[in-house]
Amino acid sequence: MAEALPYDLLIWDWDGTLADSAGQIVATMQQAIAALGLPPREDHQISELIGLGFSDSLSLLFPQMNPATVVQLMREYRERAPSTAYAAPLFAGAADGLAALHGAGYLLAVATGKPRIGLQRSLAAHAQLAPLFLTTRCADETANKPDPLMLREILAETGVAPERALMIGDTEYDVAMARSIGVPALGVACGVHDAGRQLRAGAVAVVEAAHAVPGWLAARR
């Protein structure tokens, strides 16, 4: 008889966890800040907030400004600026790791701070991944991280108990979101928050990157 899986459902963050997108996100934001004449920010100040929803990120990046005004400026800029958007590449081994986990019987889902249009673009570019995910949630259609609403919705849709799910992400926001409703969280060290920060937030462990997740799970069976 096959050994039982340690979890039933693996819920993945996208940016910094599956996709190597931090550089693209920072560069795009810096272009917008310069074009709009907003107060300059260092790259690390922007990357620090990757994973949060758009509005929350801007509120923290420009605390001295009216949040609604900044959000509106950014949205108007996006509408009129020439589109340079592209889907960031996946981290090495991420696609193979997801396929292996799906084949082993795990349910897979995505919980991301990306807007729906951004995730759709990414899944279209990496078409081999789309059939692997049972469901996905994006920040513009539910509450932003670290609010756990997107996880609650995924658990309700899949019928999986919190302790039988595992959140996998690269930030303390992912960890905090999961822990607040009793979902264990596994960190990856390839993204924007270092391993120590994720462990202090309550991650059960931190692995090198997405490609290492199948081995970590296999060791727990």
Q: Mean pLDDT for the chain?
A: 92
How distant, in Å, are the alpha carbons of 35, 37, 51, 191 from that of 47? Answer: 19, 20, 9, 9
pLDDT over 60 at 156, yes or no: yes
Q: Percent of the chain having pLDDT more than 90?
A: 70
Q: How far apart are CA 169 and CA 174, in angstroms?
A: 6
Report whether 56 contacts 176 (CB < 8 A): no
Relative to beta strand 9-12, strand 107-112 is: parallel
Whether 1 maps to a domain, the answer reads no
pLDDT at residue 1, rounded to an integer: 36
Lowest pLDDT segment from 41-50, 145-154, 163-172, 196-205: 41-50
Average the pLDDT over 69-86 and give the result: 74
The answer to whether residues 45 and 17 belong to one domain is no
Domain interval for residue 16:
9-21+89-218
The answer to whether residues 35 and 138 belong to one domain is no
Number of domains into which the chain is organized: 2
pLDDT over 70 at 86, yes or no: no
The answer to whether residues 58 and 99 belong to one domain is no
The answer to whether residues 61 and 103 belong to one domain is no
Which among 33, 56, 80 is the end of a domain?
A: 80
Q: pLDDT of 1-59, one tens digit each?
A: 356 899 999 999 999 999 998 888 888 889 889 989 999 999 999 988 888 777 888 88
The answer to whether residues 96 and 201 belong to one domain is yes
The answer to whether residues 141 and 51 belong to one domain is no
The answer to whether residues 76 and 99 belong to one domain is no
Single-letter residue type at 176: A
DSSP state of 150: H
